[in-house]
Amino acid sequence: MRVAMIGTGYVGLVSGACFADFGHDVVCVDRDAAKIGALNAGQIPIYEPGLDALVATNAKAGRLTFTRDLAGAVGKAEAVFIAVGTPSRRGDGHADLTYVFDAAREIAAALKGFTVVVTKSTVPVGTGDEVERVMRETRSDAEFAVVSNPEFLREGAAIQDFKHPDRIVVGTDDARAKAVMEALYRPLHINRGPLMFTGRRTAELIKYAANAFLATKITFINEIADLAEKVGADVQEIARGIGLDNRIGSKFLHAGPGYGGSCFPKDTVALIKTGQDHDAPLRIVETVAAVNDARKRGMAKKVSAALGGDLRGRTVAVLGLTFKPNTDDMREAPSLPLIAALRDMGAAVRAYDPAGMEQARPLLGGDVTYCKDAYDCASGASALVIVTEWEQFRALDFARLKQVMARPVLVDLRNVYRAGDVAAQGFTYESVGRPKR
């Protein structure tokens, strides 16, 4: 099938490359001339394992191309995906749909024959109705169906998630649109990818509800971790004990410094605003968002406590800046408020991340020393803090760390290590939600 993907950000680029790998003819469109030029030169603007090879293979085969010519791409397409950004709107937290509606107008003007227009961007309930209205106003004679097809891709595992999905949610009541969507995803049938058809508004709400529920699980286990520390219990064993109940499940029950990234923070806020607008307040989600925001900055108190409550004149080494491993995404990363709080407490901060340092620099400013590896980062530090659980940080040489650090103190905000193992190396060890040694 012929597909146009509007937007070459994380969702658009991964989705476009995967559809091309299925054998479809995909044209990815973006207004940014520099980005299109880079993609045509084989340069990938985001860090996602395996994406560079996937793009290169399908570009070489001629199934994946990149252009600024939206009209040309849309005019030849049977399905057009809107995969543009929907950031939080400044001032009120609602999703900013400016890019979505701009794309809808341009698409409408370029349509030739019946086309399925698919909203892949994360959008509030009712956006599909507005997209359809905008397109009808722009081009009353156009033949099209607007479909919701939310993405459920985890950064760092996006290709695997696209090709082996838990579910594919498609929101439409149009028979012709259903046939097109079935054809697009038919290559997944061998993997038994479950294609779930719903109403358009239901599909839109499924995406927000899923992210809010996962954010709630994370926040729940983080609060249980705080209680576990007070009473001398182990949150990892608690998580296993409740996660073995298949009504609960073990995923997203890992205590840490709070959730971040491109989805959970903005989507929980957007869902809260939608509830308020429709007189159906979501009190649980409101609390989740507030607790998570406070937690990320509050992690600095744990670092301070490990050093006797005073960080003035101390150097703190931070390992991991991105919100999760295997991505360079710094959006709403817990490291940002943590480092800000450490600096407010008087600490000097050294930092290292395998992929995210260039993205971190403009967000953290010039008061942070960026290092070449974990041991360079630890040099002269009174405490080493693991913020992101990159694989490179899971087998550190503690003897080497002890030689270069001012004090052997490890604050493990991801519970990567066992307390006894670290203590045996002569380190003071602090973790999240586990008994103190």
Burial class (CB in 10 A: 0-12, 13-18, 19+), 76: middle
* Residue whose token pair is 């744990």: 302
Tokens linked to 140: 């009353």
Distance CA 433, CA 412 (A): 11
User: How far is residue 125's CA from residue 115's CA, in Å, rounded to a whole number?
Assistant: 22
What CA–CA distance (Å, rounded) separates 189 from 204? 23
Determine the 3-state secondary structure of 154 from DSSP.
Answer: coil
Residue 326 CA, distance from chain mean position: 11
Beta carbons within 10 angstroms of residue 193's beta carbon: 17
Question: Cα(92)–Cα(66) distance, rounded to whole angstroms?
Answer: 35
Backbone angles phi, psi at 29, to 5 degrees: -120, 135
- The yes-or-no answer on residue 377 being catalytic is no
Among residues 28, 263, 371, 377, the one annotated as catalytic is 263
Hey, what are 171's tokens? 């929101």
Residue 168: both structure tokens together: 């594919």
C-alpha of 27 from chain center: 24
CB 254 within 8 A of CB 327: no
| Residues with active-site annotation | 263
